[in-house]
Structure 1
Amino acid sequence: MAIRFSVITFLVIGLLVLPIHSAWCRSYPAPYDAMGSVLAWESLLTVDNRYQLIVLEEFEHRHYFAYSPSTELAELYYIFNTPNDKAFRYESNLVSNYSEVESTSRSLLVMTSFTVPGHQNFHFKPELPLPIYGRPTRLSVWVRSDEYPHRLEFEFKNALGQTVKVDAGRLYWKGWRRLDITLPRELYRSARLTGDQNRTQFTGISIYSHPKSKPGAISLQFDHLLILSDISNQQYDGADIVDEW
């Protein structure tokens, strides 16, 4: 009798937990689901006026330059090539509602080389830091890679002038991919102390070579660097609203 009761209890608990787990799994699209994540952004922008899409960089004309390069090859220039992806085209229509820059189907090509992998890194940045209004909660960007094991990182400064680095993971895929990243609270938490909600800045991008990779040149492309920012006056601790999608 006790065994039967335990089995029934287990089944009941399982039935109660299953819907919760299923809802959690559906809360946000998988990393490889570019269209799903674009639609998630669009949905939040439509139903919640606390959020605003900030077109931080369309990679059309702004000058970027390498700094503290540990390699001889350091080339950055624009080419007429963008993702041939339904999600990118859909996102481009969304971006056009928020951007003042006319799209010319260009992207930023970055070329460098690592002759001593694990000891060399590559950093590049815009001429001036790019300001971000509100509380930046998510970042998205399209990156074209060629199965490089190296690691990508985005760099910011918060309202206190502190450097905040955001790890975007390894570049181990082939072709274009849309990255969708939750931003840390350190980016905007200090704005409460300064009273300035327009002090967060994007300062650059870094590529850290993998120590076990083969020496040689690499090339990457970047397009559509976007920020989802909370522009409300509400004070809450952390980006838990976004994480509950």
Structure 2
Amino acid sequence: MIDFYFAATPNGLKVKLFLEEAQLPYRLIPVRLSKGEQFKPEFLAISPNNKIPAIVDHAPADGSEPVKLFESGAIMLYLAEKIGRFIPQDIHGRAEVLQWLFWQMAGLGPMAGQIGHFNVYASEKVPYAIERYTHETARLYGVLDRRLADRPFIAGEFSIADIACYPWVVPHEAHGQRLADFPHLQQWFEAMAARPATLRTYEGVENVYAPKQALSDEERTLLFKQGAKTRA
């Protein structure tokens, strides 16, 4: 059994999508970020960066003590290697998947996350930031669009690269992007959206980029104004 610490952000949904694709048994443990639950000592013992997602694998492949992991990319790589799926065993195929996984972690996620923040959560409009991150996210969408021009999935066959990228394309409207401008990406996106595991992953999930009401000062502080001294 895997304990899965979750909030419905793109990074949380990446790991949920993996677990659903792999059909691994897991216990979903919600972490209410706006309530500061990511700063609880018991959660920090698993995720010292006070971010979701995080897991505790109570049945590691070598039969040892439970494995604690934070960082969505590390979690997916660990689980893919554990079950022997969604990452090729040959050196060239593995390299293809890894570079696109790291591309998502270092590029698509951070840039799309920034424009999502400035479009949806910022207390005031910052035109330079909006222009900067909208254009950079569009550039990254273009990279992915060209990559998908001659293949059905990012690394050729379905892999953790696709699982990692999809949740960051779901909120494309909040990121100021039109999928119609990226036809190969759009075709891939529609195929990913139709997968049974994707439907299970997103069933009943709230869109965090469409908040129903403005954040309170306390919630804004918990989410966006933490400094070097995190809460105990």
- TM-score with structure 2 setting the length: 0.28
Higher strand share: 1
Which has more helix, going by share of residues? Answer: 2
> Does 1 or 2 have the higher relative contact order (CA < 8 Å, sep 6+)?
1
TM-score (structure 1 length as normaliser): 0.27
Asked which structure has the greater CA Rg, the reply is: 1
